[in-house]
Every structure is written in C-alpha cells, then in structure tokens.
Structure 1
Amino acid sequence: MPCHPKDCGKCGSKCPCALSFTSQPAKMYRQLLGLRQLSKRTISSSARRQLDNTVKQKQKMFQEDNGMPIHLKGGSKDALLYRATMTLTIFGSGYVVYELFSAAMPRKP
C-alpha cells in the first residue's frame, strides 16, 4: 500500500506522488536554463550586418541651401508624415470646436 506524502519520512522511501510534485518544476527550470543558453549563443554568434557610414552624406544633404524646409528634406517619408500630421491637427481642431459648440448650445427638449 503506497504511503501518503506526509508519511514518506516514516517509511524511508519516496512516495511517487511526492516525486511528481518535485520533479516537474525542476525539469521545467532545466529546460528554461537550456533555452537561455541557446538563445545567448544564437544571438552572440550570429554575423552582424555591416552598414555603411552615411552620416557625412546626410549632413551634406541637410545643410545644403536649396530653399526647402528642414522638416521636409528627408524625402517622401517626411512629406507624408508632415501631411498626415497637419491633416490630423486640422480635423482634430475642428472636432474640438464642434464639441465645444454642441456643449455650449444644448438641444432644446
């Protein structure tokens, strides 16, 4: 007859249910440590991509005097971000004015 986990100290043997409680977290911890070591090796040993140093080219582009505002010198991405920001600002301001007007002039019952 198997003993209860509380009785394991009395019979001198390890109970199967006590073993299952202690071995599962230990196994998960060992797997986690192995995964951590594997990820360290993968990230640190992978070849890095060599990038060209383009700072001088960008400085030259931004410092030349061509009449273009500095916030648009980055190209089409800057122009798109600028237009989207202006559009959201205008529509947001209009919505604020609309809400203030509707709050100031409540509908009559």
Structure 2
Amino acid sequence: MYRQLLEVSRRTLTTSARRQVNKVPEKQRIFQENNGVPVHLKGGAGDAILYRSTMALTVLGTGYALYELISAALPKKKV
C-alpha cells in the first residue's frame, strides 16, 4: 500500500506536462488577420456570446436603474 501511495504522489507532483502543444503562433495568426472583425470577436462563437450577453445585461441594468430613479423622483399619489 505504501508503494502505491508513493507512486501516486510521484505522478501528481511532476512539473512537466504530458503533451505540450504551442498554440501561441496559431492564436497570433488568427488575431492579427486583417479581416474587418473586431479583436474582441475574433475568438469565435464563445466571444460573440459573451459580448452579446454583456451588452444585454448592460442595457437591462441601465433600464432598471433609470426606472428606479424615476420611481424615486416621482412620489406615488396617496388615494
């Protein structure tokens, strides 16, 4: 049992990766292309979804803040 524990700990403490793939040149090529796409959208569909969700949350938050400001500025009529 001690031998198995030692083997497992030796495997988990290694600092080298099993397979190193250098993706930096590929990413540089993609982001440096002059194809008219903004840099924040060149990452693909994930970037587009993140950008659109961020814009939607920003618009909704601004609308809600304006609604609350207007409701606080205009007192409700007492019947």
Of 43, 56, 69, the match for 1:100: 69
Q: 1 or 2, which has the higher helix percentage?
A: 1
> C-alpha separation between the residues in 2 aligned to 1:52 and 1:91?
41
| Aligned with residue 43 of structure 1, among 12, 24, 33 | 12
1:66–1:91 Cα change, 3 Å: same
SS in 1 for 2:43: coil
Query: What percentage of residue pairs aligned between the two structures are identical?
Result: 52
Aligned partner of 2:59 in structure 1 is 90
Give 3-state SS (helix, strand or coil) of 2:37's partner: coil
TM-score using structure 2 length: 0.80
Tell me the amino acid that sits aligned with residue 74 of structure 1: G
For residues 7-65 of structure 1, what are the alpha-carbon distances to aligned partners after superposition, in whole Å with 9 as ceiling and x for unaligned?
A: xxxxxxxxxxxxxxxxxxxxxxxxxxxxxx86854521598331310100100110010
DSSP 3-state at the match of 1:74: coil
**Could you list the runs of 5+ residues in structure 2 that have no partner in the other structure?**
none
How many equivalent residue pairs?
A: 73
Task: Please give the per-residue CA displacement for 1:51-103, whole angstroms capped at 9, x wherever unaligned.
Answer: 31010010011001000000000000000000000000000000000000000
Select which of 54, 57, 60 maps to 2:23: 54
Structure with greater Cα Rg: 1
* Higher-RCO chain (CA-CA 8 Å, sequence separation at least 6): 2
Partner of 2:42: 73
Q: Unaligned 5+ residue runs, structure 1?
A: 1-36
